[in-house]
Amino acid sequence: MLALRLIERKRDGGHIEPGEWRALAYAYAAGHVPDYQMASFLMACFLRGLDRSETHALTDAMLHSGDSLDLAYLNRPRIDKHSTGGVGDKVSLVLAPLIASLGVAVPMMSGRGLGHTGGTLDKLESIPGFDTRMPLLEARRLIETLNCALFGQTEEIAPADRKMYALRDATGTVESIPLIAASIMSKKLAEGLTGLVLDVKRGSGAFLPQLERGLELAKTMIELGADHNCPVVALVTAMDRPLGRACGNALEMEESIHALKGEGPADLMEVTYALGSEMLLLAGAARTGAEALQMMEQAIADGSAARHFQRIIEAQGGNPSVVDDPAILPQANEVEIFVAPRRGFISRVEPRAIGRGITALGGGRTKMDDKLDLSVGFVITARPGDWVEAGEPLATVFARDRAGIDSGRATLRTAIAIADEANPPLALVSHRVSAAGVEVLAAG
Amino acid sequence: MLALRLIERKRDGGHIEPGEWRALAYAYAAGHVPDYQMASFLMACFLRGLDRSETHALTDAMLHSGDSLDLAYLNRPRIDKHSTGGVGDKVSLVLAPLIASLGVAVPMMSGRGLGHTGGTLDKLESIPGFDTRMPLLEARRLIETLNCALFGQTEEIAPADRKMYALRDATGTVESIPLIAASIMSKKLAEGLTGLVLDVKRGSGAFLPQLERGLELAKTMIELGADHNCPVVALVTAMDRPLGRACGNALEMEESIHALKGEGPADLMEVTYALGSEMLLLAGAARTGAEALQMMEQAIADGSAARHFQRIIEAQGGNPSVVDDPAILPQANEVEIFVAPRRGFISRVEPRAIGRGITALGGGRTKMDDKLDLSVGFVITARPGDWVEAGEPLATVFARDRAGIDSGRATLRTAIAIADEANPPLALVSHRVSAAGVEVLAAG
């Protein structure tokens, strides 16, 4: 009866009170509200929207449906980074050990890949032995000793959100700003953060391609953070092409290790440093962006970031020698170079096509219980705006077998466009959003 | 995947094609689309609306998800009446035998009571032995021989609608004009009609209390009928007070028998004759309203309507002597007169309160599997606008026990209001809606 009353109220544009959100989230998590009622309610939320107090109350309700990482006793800043997801986006793999090595706690609860975007947990698990499943107590111990734990959302964290997210995925109610914001923030607040940096992707490969929608999400998350004593800063970054060169789980792990050793591609480093600066500033570990950048470059140059990653890998059951010898990562059986079919400017490297291509190779999921081949993917050296001659190598396909190579070649033919005129890509880091408002960092 | 695509399209205000409605209805009826996806889709339909071609396609899809009564071979007009539902609305019980006795086939598939409104099937089942469950073939045989079958929606009829209606009831998606219209018409078209008369209730006890919404429903049903070669005419009638005097299953059956024998209350007869005239005109059995009225009055005066009801009762397993001796209907254990607590004008007899009061007595349902006590209810002789003295009898409570009498008394105290000034009730039959448009029959 409660659920039906709330469905009808939200359907008619009415307001749901904090106690009602709490009762609904608890009842749903406990199985007292059937999926079909929650589905109807979520569609009403999608179409009618949630106001700020409702979004706040839903976040709280989902957060308190489960446990939290209580880390206040650490007396250390605790900062996480969240990305809205993209292709080739391995920033977390570089940033978590790098920032943790600088004395800031990074309790990084991540997800798995679904659809065209990859997931941090899958990439980490390409390291032999690496275990991302742990109870909250173990995550706490790791954060205490190493400033970092790289783990998945446990059953204990925001169970109402877990169940609701799976339902939204099946009922066409994912792309709602308040529902997305509440879902992310309920999990992030469960990490016991003192600050959060948000990487809002825009462009054709982003979850919310339009800038306006990305800014709206950032604004909503910033408000939620302010309501919960967790300041949030967001950067808008480009996802009209993959980030870095490697796309695929083990391939991205390898590129991240290179990045931690000072050999990362320029675009990956630019985004990593931009987000890392915000983390260090939120933590109070640096006073200016220039100081933050200098700290990070130093940690990479002197090897302390890479060494810190080794310690984290070891603590999570992985083989730490991967940092010195990435060749112990899973290797694809078949490898083939893809060359330019004609001369011209690279006008487009379409992230969605690449992401779907990884899934076609067996390295991505269309549903949550798909098993992955972590070795497969693409390394794409061609960048939008490059001039190329016919026959020039643009990318490499990594596949399980010859059929995979054929599939990968077909993917690259669709994903990489060559034209007579250059088509300028989006600015890599274009906007900064904080409680003070939106700052344009770069045009385009 | 189909369902998710259609959810997203409807959510975003897009159009669903006829083949897609068909595929969705079939897949849902067959259990291939889960309830939670259908619930989300229905809420999107509720909030985004359906255009005429979509409403038509949904009606067709639900109609063709099951069997139909194929009656074309009869070469007789086949007309049914449908009411949007009210309290004390026993018109079908009078109209079906009356019109059938005049040579028009009335294949009347009816429903059960739910919420504050009663159901024709429950009322019929108060006749000892009367069986409303029959396969379509049996209904066809009865219509062939007696022009009438009084039966419930079988598993064979519009199974997609059956399942969808139950889901809508639980997910806050009932009060949508296109969904209501498609649901009613899919069942009515399955009766193989050549015409349909619609009784659209308005006022506080109506399913859609506002006149505008009732007219919109009528217009939608008329369009659907036109699209399916089944002309529809609608009358708007008052449901700001119960219709007739008896409210409760056996009590309404008894009043209907009296009505068929020429002793019905004036308001019940006025609505019955108004709807019956439209049926006879649609059937081509009368050329004018005056002629139709004369035919009906004659059939009641000469006893042929009552005798026809006896034959129908007998054919459906009931005890036909009920027509001569209504005392064989279930009788309540306890009966008490309710008197006016003060002098004044009867300013209100609230149908929803009466309907809920019947449920409280055990004579109505809050969920479909509730068992009913068919003997209980109210007979309300006081009409809005009447002047009454303190202590004057206004109504009678029929209950199972003394606790029921107390509950019934409390119901009447709430439902019947007495004031110093008369409060004019709605006009009994106020509007006629046909393909030609809306005609105002009476002001107020």
Q: Which residue stretches of B101-208 are H helix?
A: 120-124, 136-146, 159-170, 177-190
- What integer pLDDT is reported at residue A2 of this predicted model? 84
A116, pLDDT greater than 90: no
Question: Is B258 considered catalytic here?
Answer: no
Give A12→chain B minimum CA distance, Å: 9
Residue in B8, B35, B172 closest to A8 by CB:
B172
Across the interface, which of A36, A41, A172 has its CB nearest the CB of B8? A172
Determine the residue of chain A that is closest to B13 in CA distance: A47
Hey, are the CB atoms on A40 and B37 less than 8 Å from each other? no
Q: Chain B within 8 Å of A312 (Cβ-Cβ)? A: no
Q: Check CB contact of A44 with chain B, cutoff 8 Å.
A: yes
Choose among B43, B28, B64, B39: nearest CA to B186.
Answer: B64
* Residue pairs between chains A and B whose CB atoms are closer than 8 Å: 85
Q: Do B40 and A173 touch (CB under 8 A)?
A: yes
Catalytic residue among A112, A140, A168, A365: A168
Q: Using the beta-carbon criterion (under 8 Å), do A171 and B39 form an inter-chain contact?
A: yes
Say yes or no: A114 contacts chain B, CB-CB below 8 A: no
pLDDT value at position B117?
81
- Buried/exposed code over B9-19 (b: 16+ C-beta within 10 A; e: otherwise): bbbeeeebeee
- What are B225's two structure tokens? 């009928």
The residue of chain A nearest to residue B8, with distances taken between CA atoms, is A172
Q: How far is CA B138 from CA A182, A284, A443, B343, in A?
A: 57, 83, 76, 54
- Are A279 and A95 a contacting pair, CB within 8 Å? yes
Q: Which of A38, A41, A170 sits opposite B37 (nearest CB)?
A: A170
Task: Tell me if chain A has a CB within 8 Å of the CB of B213.
Answer: no
pLDDT for A200-255, tens place per residue? 999 999 999 999 999 999 999 999 999 999 999 999 999 999 999 999 999 999 99
Can you tell me whether residue B235 is helix, strand or coil? strand
Residues of chain B contacting A7 with CB distance shorter than 8 Å: 43, 171-172
Interchain pair A39, B44: CB under 8 A: no
Any bridge partners for residue B105, and if so which?
B78
Spatial separation of the C-alpha atoms in residues B7 and B393, rounded to whole Å = 56
Give how far A24 is from chain B: nearest CA, Å: 14
Return the residue of B nearest to A174 by Cα: B8
For residue B352, the model assigns a pLDDT of 95
Mean pLDDT throughout A48-62? 97
Residue written as tokens 């859609």? B208
pLDDT-based confidence at A407, cuts 50/70/90? very high
Q: For testing the chain B interface, which of A36, A169, A213, A366 should be mutated: the one with the most B CBs within 10 Å? A: A36
Q: What are phi and psi of A362, to 5 degrees?
A: 100, 5
CA distance B115 to chain A (A): 14
Is A44's CB within 8 Å of B39's CB? no
Task: Please indicate whether residue A101 is annotated as part of the active site.
Answer: no
Query: A1 pLDDT band (50/70/90 cuts)?
Result: low
State yes or no: pLDDT of A115 exceeds 80. no
Q: Does B49 touch chain A (CB under 8 A)?
A: no
DSSP assignment of A345-360 = EEEEE-HHHHHHHHHH
Within 8 A of A37 by CB-CB distance, chain B residues are 39, 170-171
Q: Is A43 on the interface with B (CB under 8 A)?
A: yes
The catalytic residue among B183, B256, B277, B347 is B183
pLDDT value of position A367 = 75
Asked whether the beta carbons of residue B46 and residue A11 sit closer than 8 angstroms, the reply is yes
State the pLDDT at residue B1.
65
Catalytic status, residue A82: yes
CA A307 vs. chain centroid, Å, equals 24
- Structural element, H or E, at residue B442: none
pLDDT tens-digit readout, A104-113: 999 999 988 7
Q: Would the CB atoms of B172 and A7 count as touching at under 8 Å? A: yes
> Active-site residue among A10, A22, A82, A431?
A82
Segment of A48-52, A364-368, B165-169 carrying the highest mean pLDDT: A48-52
Q: Tell me the pLDDT band of A61, cut-offs 50, 70 and 90.
A: very high
The radius of gyration of chain B's CA atoms, rounded to the nearest angstrom, is 22
Pick the closest to residue A312 from A252, A257, A263 (CA basis). Answer: A257
CB pair distance less than 8 Å for B34 and A34: no
CA proximity to A38, closest of A7, A62, A79, A82: A7
Contact list in A for residue B7 (CB cut-off 8 A) is 43, 171-172
Single-letter residue type at A30: A
pLDDT of residue A366: 78
Name B280's Cβ contacts closer than 8 Å, sequence gap at least 6. Answer: B99, B102, B104, B286, B292, B295, B296
B167 and chain A in contact, CB less than 8 A: yes
pLDDT at A153: 87
Q: What does pTM read for this prediction?
A: 0.88
Confidence of residue A72 (pLDDT cuts 50, 70, 90): confident
Among chain A residues, the shortest Cα distance to B45 is held by A43
Residue A318's contacts (CB-CB under 8 Å, 6 or more residues apart) are A124, A127, A128, A129, A130, A131
Give chain A positions within 8 Å (CB) of B42. 40
Nearest CB to B39; choose among A40, A46, A47 = A40
Average pLDDT score over residue span A22-42: 96
Residue A187 catalytic? yes
Crossing angle of helices A351-361 and A402-415, in 10° steps, is 170
Measured distance CA(B418)–CA(B339) in Å, rounded: 12
Please check the confidence at residue A444 and state whether its pLDDT lies above 90: no
Location of structure tokens 């069986």? B131
Q: In three state form, how does the secondary structure of B43-108 look?
A: HHHHHHCCCHHHHHHHHHHHHCCCECCCCHHHCCCEEEEEECCCCCCCHHHHHHHHHHCCCCEEEE
Number of other residues whose CB lies within 10 A of the CB of residue B387: 11
How far apart (Å, rounded) are the C-alpha atoms in residues A347 and A368? 34
Contact A79, A105 (CB under 8 A): yes
Q: What is the mean pLDDT of chain A?
A: 95
Q: Report the largest interatomic distance among the alpha carbons of chain A, rounded to a whole angstrom.
A: 68
Domains in chain A and their CATH numbers?
2-49 (1.20.970.10), 72-156+164-325+428-436 (3.40.1030.10), 330-419 (3.90.1170.30)
A366: which chain B residues are within 8 Å (Cβ-Cβ)?
none
Residues 1-40 of A with CB under 8 A from B: 4, 7-8, 11, 34-40
Residues 172-191 of A with CB under 8 A from B: 172-173
CB contact under 8 A, A40 and B43: yes
Closest CA to B276 of B265, B291, B262: B291
> What distance in Å separates the CA atoms of residue B406 and residue B397, rounded to the nearest whole number?
9
pLDDT in the model for residue B328: 97
Q: Cβ of B260: how many Cβ atoms within 10 Å?
A: 27
**Does B43 contact A170 at a Cβ distance shorter than 8 Å?**
no
Residue for token digits 């002597």?
A: B321
The SS3 assignment for B118 reads: coil
- Catalytic, B183? Answer yes
Q: Per-block average pLDDT, block size 10, for chain B (444 residues)?
A: 92 97 95 96 98 97 91 92 95 98 96 82 97 94 97 89 91 94 94 96 94 96 95 98 98 98 98 98 98 98 98 98 97 98 97 96 85 96 96 98 98 97 92 97 85
**pLDDT > 70: percent of chain A:** 100
Q: What strand order describes the sheet that includes A246-247?
A: A246-247, A377-380, A393-399, A334-339
| Among A163, A187, A348, A431, the one annotated catalytic | A187
Q: How confident is the model at residue A187 (pLDDT cuts 50, 70, 90)?
A: very high
- What does the DSSP assignment read for A51-80? -HHHHHHHHHHHHTTSB----GGG-S-BEE
Residues 6+ apart with CB under 8 A from B281: B233, B287, B288, B289, B292
Inspect the interface and report whether the beta carbons of B7 and A171 lie closer than 8 Å: yes
Which of B1, B41, B43 to mutate: most A Cβ within 10 Å? B43
